[in-house]
Structure 1
């Protein structure tokens, strides 16, 4: 935690965090914890669009998933909102190639916005996130080249996921989005605890996601991104709070890996219980 002084206020700055979409979407080895469907374990054909499952953070940490689908009318923590074939230029890529993660970030994040009915700023401030999965290594060797994007009821620091509604389609389409699905933190700083719904007790609220670069811009370096984020968030949070004489704010910014994957936004947090 770093302390600084803005033009108008004492600022409490959140530490750097990595993007969930790259760090928590199946780029690690290990066994999932879900009830597996033998027919899906080494499936060459793409999974079913709209299927619901009971996934855990441990499942999401794996590169592939064959958890048994459940009826979406039953309790579930995940829903498949996009499936498709990887582009031809990735068919010869290694199973764990970074290019696959970059493609998944761009593809799933864009489809995630449309599925939830929200813009990029809103989806970066929700307690739900997305995970992506690829075929098993055996299926990959047999020629499978599909991807699967699931919305899940939690984020990178979640120890457990919450149940989703029967479908998460249009979950954030209401203006403003329901606090039940928006991100707050109950801790000393924005990185001190997992995100919680803003309907729960909290000390920080994610109030906007500000743009720090254009799609074709080269990565300007950690220092430039952090300073740009700090200055924007200082002004934006002050405005959001009505320009009080003193206020606390936080920010979450990202690194070159996420920039290369397509992220150009940082998140601003206000110290507030409202």
Structure 2
């Protein structure tokens, strides 16, 4: 039996998490020119709240825009090429024990993170475990501080898919159920054996030589050593690779543990890989 394992942490594609849309600019208007006459000035009109997003809309968005603190890109018809689709719009609870809650506060921002993350698997047609083996992610946006002050209280959940390099992959006309369809272009594949210099995570629609076949939940409160990961993952990864192999006595697999940063952010599982066949 030929066995290959990659125990050192490989660089995983970063989870796309949109920062709260709270950025804004302030400035001072130049002083008006001196005048010997005065005229009454009207008080400034109150700001209008930003339009509430609508579920089902599609957006042409770059990866940089997806990571921007303010929702970027442009809305396009879903029949045209797009890289994000809004799948849920909800209402923020901006009151805490009777006191106003700032839209950029941790308590306010936890609301869309939890809601969008929980709603994504059912929308794309996958279990939470199956979602791990895909390039599909959710991002979310909230109003700016100024928009929230004017009455905006929405949050917006978008679905995106990581592509090759720094690009987002184009989405189907409707992202609903996209992971339940065949073939599986948004599955996770690799350009080389995980842990090697030429390895990069890519969607399986791109050229690849390895495929992610399973994930294994990791035990322990602290970041596990390579030996501890191998002890927990080897049997499961070996079995997953053997099930795919033409020869059950001659096959390869690789084990990939999360990076320390991913572990600390909540990713408590490793990924099993096998050569694409």
Instruction: Name the TM tier (shorter chain).
Output: 0.7 to 0.9
Which of 247, 251, 255 is 2:252 aligned to?
247
Aligned residue number for residue 162 of structure 1: 169
Aligned residue number for residue 6 of structure 2: 12
CA shift at 1:163, angstroms? 1.6
Residue pair 1:229, 1:266 contacting (<8 A) in 2 also? no
Q: Does 1:141 align with 2:184?
A: no
Residue pair 2:61, 2:72 contacting (<8 A) in 1 also? no
Query: What's the Cα RMSD here?
Result: 3.4
Residue pair 2:135, 2:187 contacting (<8 A) in 1 also? yes
Q: Using the alignment, how far apart are the partners of 1:83 and 1:222 within structure 2?
A: 36
Most deviating of 62-71 and 75-84 = 62-71
Residue pair 1:82, 1:149 contacting (<8 A) in 2 also? yes
Q: Does 1:233 align with 2:233?
A: yes
Aligned residue number for residue 275 of structure 2: 272
Which of 115, 119, 131 is 1:111 aligned to?
119
Q: Using the alignment, how far apart are the partners of 1:57 and 1:170 within structure 2?
A: 22
Q: Summarize deviations over 1:139-197 as a string: whole Å, max 9, x none.
A: 12324232111111316x841122211101011124xx533120111135368654322
Aligned residue number for residue 183 of structure 1: 188
Q: Using the alignment, how far apart are the partners of 2:20 and 2:199 within structure 1?
A: 23
The alignment's TM-score, normalised by the length of structure 2, stands at 0.73
Structure 2: gaps (5+ residues): 25-47, 243-247
Q: Using the alignment, how far apart are the partners of 2:193 and 2:22 within structure 1?
A: 33
Which of 204, 207, 217 is 1:201 aligned to?
207
Change (3 A) 1:267 1:97: farther
Which of 69, 77, 85 is 1:71 aligned to?
77
Q: Using the alignment, how far apart are the partners of 2:149 and 2:62 within structure 1?
A: 27
Aligned residue number for residue 5 of structure 1: none
Q: Using the alignment, how far apart are the partners of 1:92 and 1:154 within structure 2?
A: 37
Q: Using the alignment, how far apart are the partners of 1:149 and 1:207 within structure 2?
A: 28
Q: Using the alignment, how far apart are the partners of 2:101 and 2:249 within structure 1?
A: 53
Q: Using the alignment, how far apart are the partners of 1:18 and 1:220 within structure 2?
A: 23
Residue pair 2:90, 2:155 contacting (<8 A) in 1 also? yes
Structure 1: gaps (5+ residues): 1-7, 32-41, 214-218
Aligned residue number for residue 45 of structure 2: none
- The count of corresponding residues between Structure 1 and Structure 2 is 242
Q: Using the alignment, how far apart are the partners of 1:193 and 1:98 within structure 2?
A: 36
Residue pair 2:138, 2:157 contacting (<8 A) in 1 also? yes
Which of 112, 131, 134 is 1:123 aligned to?
131
